[in-house]
Structures are given as C-alpha cells and as structure tokens.
Amino acid sequence: MIEVRGLTKRYGETTAVRDLSFDVMPGRVTGFLGPNGAGKTTTMRLILGLDYPDAGAATIDGKQYAHLAYPMREVGALLDARAVHGGRSAYNHLLCLAQTNNLPRRRVGEVLEMVGLTEVARRRTRGFSLGMAQRLGIAATLLGDPKVIMFDEPINGLDPEGILWIRNLMKALAAEGRTVFVSSHLMSEMQNTADYLIVIGRGRLLADCTTEEFITRSSVPTVQVATPQADQLAKAVAKEGGTAVSGDNGTLIVSGLTAGQVGALALEHGVRLEELTVVRASLEEAFMELTTDTVEYRAGAEGAHSQPAGPGRPPQELAGHGRPGSDGRS
Amino acid sequence: MATTTIRQGPVLPAPSGRAGFGGTLRSEFTKIGSVRSTYWTLLMLFAVSVGIGAGISGLSANSWSNTPPADRTPFDATQISLAGLLVLGQLVIVVLGALVLSGEYSTGMIRTSLIAMPRRIVIYAAKAAAFTAVALVVSLVTAFTAFFLGQALLASTHQSATLAGPDVLRAVIGSALYITLCGLFAFAAAAIIRNSAATITAMIGLLFVLPVLVNWTPWHNDLVRWLPSSAARAISATVWNAGPQNAHLFFPWGQFAVLAACTAVVLVVGGILFLKRDA
C-alpha cells in the first residue's frame, strides 16, 4: 500500500501539493482524479522520490521509495511513456531497466509478450506510436512483477482498443491483489475503472472515498420531467420546496424532490407527464460540482462553500498550476 | 489475453540482498552499447585522431626532408603523432561524456532510470564508471594506433620515436588518460548543467577558448599552468624544449594532476547536485 502523509511541495511561489494525506490500498483500482495542474503528477513524483517534498512523506509498505531493496519488485511506475531514449530498441530499453534490479533477462521477453510488442522488440522506439510507447512503458512497470502499480494518465492519446486494454489490465492487476493507483483528469474514464477515488484540486485533497460514495455524496440527484404543462408543474414544485429549472427540449429538471414526490404532485395538479426520469449524477458532474467551489472562490463569489481554501490566498495561486513542464504533458 | 498471462506461479526468483552498483553498472554498459550514436562517436574519435595525427606526421616528415639540415629544429615526434587525439579527439570524447548524462535529461529517460534505481549516487557512480571504462579503452587503442602510424610516417626523418624511448610510453598512455579525463569532466559538467548543447559549449569554452583568452592576458605565463587544458601539452611531451611555452608548465604528471583535481572537484559538485536536486 501507498501511504501519503502531510505531503507538501512548493516550486518557487507556487504550491503544487499542500498537506496531502491519503492511503492507497491493495486489491482495488484507486483513481487519482483532478483537473490538469491539480498536482497529480507532482504527487506521484514525490512518492517515487524524483522530487523531494518540502514537508511530509510518502511510503510504500512503510518504506521510502529510495530505500526499497528492489524498487522494481515493489513498485512499477509509468509517469511518461515518451521518457525513453528513441535510439534504443524496445528490448534493450527494458533490458537496461531490468539489469538495475538484477531481474533475469528472460523477464524482458515475457513482459514484451504480455503487452504484445514481441514483434517490434528489436525496433528502435523512436518510430513507436504513442500507443506502442504506452505499452512499452507498461511492460517496464511489469518487469519486477511489482505489488504496487502507478500509472500517470495512461490512456492519454490511446485509441479505444488501447483504452479498453489498459482498463482491463488495471482491473486484472487489482484483482490479483495488487495496489493499482492511476491518475486521470477524465472523470468518465475513472467511473469505468476505479473502485476508489482520491480527488485533488489545487494540490489539496477534495475527496477520499469509493467511486459510488463520491457520486452520491457530492451531487444532488435530480428528476427530469417532460410535460406540456411545465409552468404549472414548476409552480407546484416550488410550493413543495423543490427547485425546477427548464432543461433541454422543454423538459423540467427538478431537484430537492424524489421522482415519487414529483409524480404525486403531477397527479394532484392534473398535470400530464410524458416522461419522468431519475437522473443519476455521473462522476463527471459530481467532479464539476466539487471543483466549482474552487472556481467560485477564485472569482471571489460569496457562498456556503465548505472548501477549506484558507484565508488570504493570492489569486494566482488558485489557478493551481504545477511546476511548468513537470507534468510532461501540459 | 494480456490479462490472463500475468501470474503463473512465481514469476521471479526470490530476491536476496538489494539492488546496487553491480546491476546498475551492467545497465549503464547496456545503455552505452545499445545506441548507434555511441558507435558513430567512437568511430569518429578513432578516425579523426588517427587521421589527423597521420596527416600532421606526414606533413612534418615532408617539410623535414625539404629543409636543409642546418635549419632543422628538433621536434617531438611522439607529440606530433598524438596531436589529432589531443586536439580534436578531446572534442569528440567531450561530446560523448556530456551525452551520457545530458542525453537522459533531453529524452526524459533520467526519470525512467531513477524510478528503476532511485539510489541516485549508485546511478551517478555507475554512469561515470561505465563511461570511463569505455572511453579509456577506446582512447588507448586510438592513442597507440595514432602513435604507431605517425611514427611510420615520420620514419624518413630518423627522428621517429619508439615506445622504448624516454617518456614515450608515458606520453602515449598519458594522452589517452587526458582525453578520458576531459570526457569525465564533461560528464560531471552535464550533471550540473543538465543540457547537452550548453554542456558541450561550456566544455569548448574551457578547453579551446579559455587558453586563447589567457594567452592574451599579461599574466599568461603565470596562469597557463593552472588551465586544465595545459595537461595535454605537458603529458604528451617527450622533448621538453620543443614546446615554446613548456617552461611555464608543471612537469608532465604535475600538470596532469591539475586537470585531475579540477575534474574531481566538478565530479563532486555534479554528484551533490545530482543527489540534491529534483529530477
């Protein structure tokens, strides 16, 4: 498991990660979610010891990454699939990584087979498509048969087939009892893959819960109603304490009332209903909901925001950019 | 398909000890040996050093035979045959030394390397050792080839040297050591600068431009012995009075020690920065 405690990292004036604490448990896919520049890559770099934290610590099974006896047997991490020497063949790239951890040479062939790159093993990686580079990066993470897997935005630039492949791979790795920690700014992707979510925004923890919990907790369920008597129903809803706003194609979006309550209201007022649907919030919407707070705070809007943004924060910091380029994909 | 083949019983032999210098050194040799640019660079080092050494030797032999015996001045046959290695060979090896590290920064490979082996001092030492080994072997082969070919071309002057001659072996081996150290210096500079072009530019400044600038100053006789590049002239000299400035230099190994000390300092500074900075 990965333990992050009070992790803080500043790059000059910008605080990329602020007092971040969370655990990533084995046996499930944990999504690491946040908008671009939220500090996801920085957090992963800190866990892997590529950057040094200003405060706090990250450990893998109780040890700092640099102190692991055989790092590749414990952790397989892919931050940037393009971080390879283009003049080296796929086979030699994996071989030089395997040798640092005294892994047997045969393992290189095995992981190439796993990711389906055997055919191009002797080709220089310069000519690889992003999808092939991504597979090569994943092959490298599997070399040491590690207990912990970390992927930073693994589906970026992949075709649908590649996305499906990675999604199934991550689920399979988690099912084998491994810790799978995968970052993404694509909420929809995490909804399909992650059992558990760590959500950050501007370097702070926003949520740490199951994916389901995240959706139900951070979003108001709504009821979509199609009716020719929209005005009449809207008034009735308002009287009952709900909120009705007009949606697409003359529908009403009702919040604050259940579908049953809306149905009963319609019957009571003689309103003909053509459609009555409970709209389950998607992870995307729940995420927007959560991060709206930070945006509104930046705009200086007053409101009942529970976000612990802290007083007197300079506006430029709220933009929440990581160190330029540290992301590798900005 | 990929998902079903991941675990089939124990995938790896049980680990013992911990990942350390040995494996990382092997890895660094694999890295150096698995990119074509290494072979091109080393081939260029050999061709340029031997070719230019032979050219200068041939021209010297020619002008010697066209000069009346009374006007002939003594010349250092060993040094002449090594001139290509010492002047242009050092430039090539500086490029190779810089690229060993800065190439990883420009491709981003350094992050992949440090994830595989997070103990940075191990990576730094292994890289330095692997480069030094490759550079030394190639430099020695090049130096001896250039020497023998040069002496063959100078044979007509009856001034040519043999390895048994005084200080000749020191000059040939010392020249190989000199360019190896130049490459190691560039490696360490790359750890500080972390950019290929800037590192190579800085090394050209140190080895080619700085001596010229110092030459223009009024104190150049006092300064010249403190330049790292002066080791080239001293270590390759077998006829001490053949070089006009040699009087202001330390004796050969002393002058070589100046370069070695500078390299050591830069290696330590580069190592500390490699350890302390975010990758």
What percentage of residues in chain B have a pLDDT greater than 90? 75
- Starting at the edge strand found earlier in the chain, the sheet holding A243-246 runs A243-246, A252-255, A222-226, A275-279
The amino acid occupying position A83 is A
**Is the pLDDT confidence value at A270 over 80?**
yes
Region class of A197: left (phi > 0), else alpha (psi between -120 and 50), else beta:
beta
Q: Is B119 within 8 Å of A51 when comparing Cβ atoms?
A: no
Name the least confident of A242-256, A275-289, B202-216: A275-289
> Where does the pLDDT of residue A294 fall: very low under 50, low under 70, confident under 90, or very high at 90 and above?
low
User: How far is it, in rounded angstroms, from Cα B108 to Cα B113?
Assistant: 9
Strand partners, A277: A224
**Is the pLDDT confidence value at A215 over 90?**
no
pLDDT digits (tens, 9 = 90+) for B142-187: 999 999 999 999 988 888 888 888 899 999 999 999 999 999 999 9
Q: Give A-chain residues touching B1 at CB under 8 angstroms.
A: 116
CA torsion sign, A285 to A288 to A289 to A290? positive
Q: Give B-chain residues touching A52 at CB under 8 angstroms.
A: 276, 278
**Is the pLDDT confidence value at B274 over 70?**
yes
**Is the pLDDT confidence value at A289 over 80?**
no
Q: Give B-chain residues touching A49 at CB under 8 angstroms.
A: 114, 118
Name the least confident of A179-193, A195-209, A283-297, B10-24: A283-297
pLDDT of residue B242: 67
User: Looking at the complex, does the CB of residue A96 fall below 8 Å from at least one CB of chain B?
Assistant: yes
pLDDT of residue A281: 67
pLDDT of residue A296: 39
Angle at alpha carbon of residue A298, lines to A294 and A299, rounded to 5°: 120
* 3-class secondary structure, A148: strand
User: How far is it, in rounded angstroms, from Cα B161 to Cα A222?
Assistant: 95
Q: Check if the beta carbon of residue A65 is closer than 8 Å to that of residue A52.
A: no
**Is the pLDDT confidence value at B99 over 60?**
yes
Name the least confident of A90-94, A188-192, A293-297: A293-297
pLDDT of residue A288: 73
CA distance B181 to chain A (A): 25
Q: Give B-chain residues touching A16 at CB under 8 angstroms.
A: none
CA distance B22 to chain A (A): 8
**Is the pLDDT confidence value at A94 over 90?**
yes
Region class of A227: left (phi > 0), else alpha (psi between -120 and 50), else beta:
beta
Q: Which residue blocks in chain A are alpha helix, DSSP H?
A: 40-47, 71-74, 90-100, 106-115, 130-142, 160-175, 187-193, 211-218, 230-239, 259-268, 283-298, 315-318
User: How far is it, in rounded angstroms, from Cα A278 to Cα B25?
Assistant: 62
pLDDT digits (tens, 9 = 90+) for A216-234: 776 667 888 999 988 899 8
**Is the pLDDT confidence value at B4 over 70?**
no
Q: If interface means Cβ-Cβ distance under 8 Å, which residues of chain B face chain A?
A: 1-7, 11-13, 15, 17-19, 22-24, 26-28, 30-31, 34-37, 103-104, 107-120, 276, 278-279
Q: Give A-chain residues touching B107 at CB under 8 angstroms.
A: 83-86
Q: Check if the beta carbon of residue B90 is closer than 8 Å to that of residue B232.
A: yes
DSSP state of B206: I
Task: Compare all CA atoms of chain B with the CA of A102 and give the residue at the minimum distance.
Answer: B23
Q: Give B-chain residues touching A71 at CB under 8 angstroms.
A: 19, 115-118
Q: Has this prediction a pTM greater than 0.90?
A: no
pLDDT of residue A59: 97
Residue A83 contacts by C-beta under 8 Å, 6 or more apart in sequence?
Answer: A328, B107, B108, B109, B110, B111, B112
pLDDT of residue A140: 97
pLDDT digits (tens, 9 = 90+) for A55-88: 999 999 999 999 999 999 999 999 999 999 999 9
What is the overall mean pLDDT for chain B?
Answer: 91
Of A321, A326, A320, give the one whose Cα is nearest residue A307.
Answer: A320
ipTM of predicted complex: 0.89
What percentage of residues in chain A have a pLDDT greater than 70? 85
Q: Is B35 within 8 Å of A83 when comparing Cβ atoms?
A: no
The amino acid occupying position B11 is V
**DSSP symbols for A196-213:** EEEEEETTEEEEEEEHHH
pLDDT of residue A223: 87
Q: Is A85 within 8 Å of B109 when comparing Cβ atoms?
A: yes
pLDDT of residue B158: 83
pLDDT digits (tens, 9 = 90+) for B70-96: 777 778 899 999 999 999 999 999 999
Q: Is A69 within 8 Å of B23 when comparing Cβ atoms?
A: no
CA–CA distances in Å: residue B35 to residues A93, B113, B162: 10, 16, 37
Region class of A22: left (phi > 0), else alpha (psi between -120 and 50), else beta:
beta
> Where does the pLDDT of residue B244 fall: very low under 50, low under 70, confident under 90, or very high at 90 and above?
low
Residue B220 contacts by C-beta under 8 Å, 6 or more apart in sequence?
Answer: B214
pLDDT of residue B165: 87
> Where does the pLDDT of residue A213 fall: very low under 50, low under 70, confident under 90, or very high at 90 and above?
confident
pLDDT of residue A307: 41
**Is the pLDDT confidence value at A152 over 60?**
yes
Q: Is B279 within 8 Å of A51 when comparing Cβ atoms?
A: yes
Q: Give A-chain residues touching B23 at CB under 8 angstroms.
A: 99-102
pLDDT of residue B26: 97
Q: How many other C-beta atoms can be found within 10 angstroms of the C-beta atom of residue B244? A: 7
**Is the pLDDT confidence value at B8 over 80?**
no
User: Looking at the complex, does the CB of residue A44 fall below 8 Å from at least one CB of chain B?
Assistant: no
Q: Give B-chain residues touching A51 at CB under 8 angstroms.
A: 278-279
User: How far is it, in rounded angstroms, from Cα A25 to Cα B276?
Assistant: 30
**For the residues B53-77, what does the mean pLDDT come to?**
87
Of B94, B231, B249, B93, give the one whose Cα is nearest residue B175.
Answer: B231
**For the residues A98-123, what does the mean pLDDT come to?**
95
User: How far is it, in rounded angstroms, from Cα B33 to Cα B30?
Assistant: 5
Most confident of B9-13, B27-31, B72-76: B27-31
CA distance A181 to chain B (A): 16
**DSSP symbols for A81-99:** TT-S-TTSBHHHHHHHHHH
**Is the pLDDT confidence value at A298 over 50?**
no
Q: Is A165 within 8 Å of B2 when comparing Cβ atoms?
A: yes
User: How far is it, in rounded angstroms, from Cα A63 to Cα B25?
Assistant: 25
CA–CA distances in Å: residue A261 to residues A237, A252, A281, B107: 9, 14, 19, 61
**For the residues B198-215, what does the mean pLDDT come to?**
94
Q: How many other C-beta atoms can be found within 10 angstroms of the C-beta atom of residue A256? A: 16
A:B CB pairs within 8 Å: 135
What is the overall mean pLDDT for chain A?
Answer: 85
